[in-house]
Amino acid sequence: MSGIVTLGVVQFACSDDVAENVATASRLVRDAAARGANVVLVQELFEGLYFCQEEEAVHFDRARPLEGHLTIAAFADLARELGVVIPVSFFERRNQAFFNSVAMVDDTGTVLGVYRKSHIPDGPGYEEKFYFRPGDTGFRVWQTRFGAIGVGICWDQWFPEAARAMALTGAEMLLYPTAIGSEPGRPDFDSMEHWRITMRGHAAANLMPVAAANRIGAETVGGKTQTYYGSSFIAGAAGELLAEAGRDGEAVLTARFDRAALARQRAAWGLFRDRRPDLYGAIATADGG
């Protein structure tokens, strides 16, 4: 196991051409690897436009099973070539079920497993409940040559319970592929700082790096247009911003971490030692009762 890990994050604008998006993501992953990245995060559902702006059955045609998935195979080849770990976001079809998923591809090109998004949003412009079942995998942590990696997907990033669950099951870093931007009908509302602060809190509360990859650009689906605000970032174990992208423009971010030093810090700080799970029963209820 490598003691030093460099996290990489990429962001870009998506078209509705799968091959074009795969080529763009691959180019940026190569760039991150050339800068020393061992783990490279690409944004949510990057194969096409964020189709969840509307509810139309035709978009189910975008889903593919894990087995024989051409995009995952392409990134498995890339991961093997570059010797990097790549979580690959995809719209998964499993028989009659549909999920918003991530396949974790390790540096040998092996698919270690799949995480299915647990928290599914349902609001104007983000109408994911029409398409995706809530995930049935539970929160996953994968052991890789570059550390234990936990991955949540977009709306998952707003829930401290998800981050803590991954930390408790051994995660050393938390990664969140994302698609977030403007809110339909609320042109004066900007969630970017709230979005970042929430995840930076997960980093500080769990004393581990957190990274998010978001898309950029204006996308029109079914006559509706949303603008995604980028602002991808990597936060350190105290929640500090170590690398950040702008609201538009392609970006490749990297940040270097000493895993052993972080492990010592987590142990010494006492946050996990002093937890009182016997007092947290309300968290496992819907209404605190």
> Annotated active-site positions, please?
44, 117, 154
Contacts of 103 (CB under 8 A, 6+ apart): 66, 69, 72, 87, 88, 90, 111, 113, 114
Angle between helices 192-206 and 160-168 (to 10 degrees): 30
Q: Is the dihedral of CA 6, 7, 13, 17 positive or negative?
A: positive
Q: How far is CA 165 from CA 96, 108, 160, 197, in A?
A: 29, 27, 8, 19
Sequence-distant contacts of 57-60: CB under 8 A, at least 24 apart: 59/131, 60/93, 60/98, 60/131
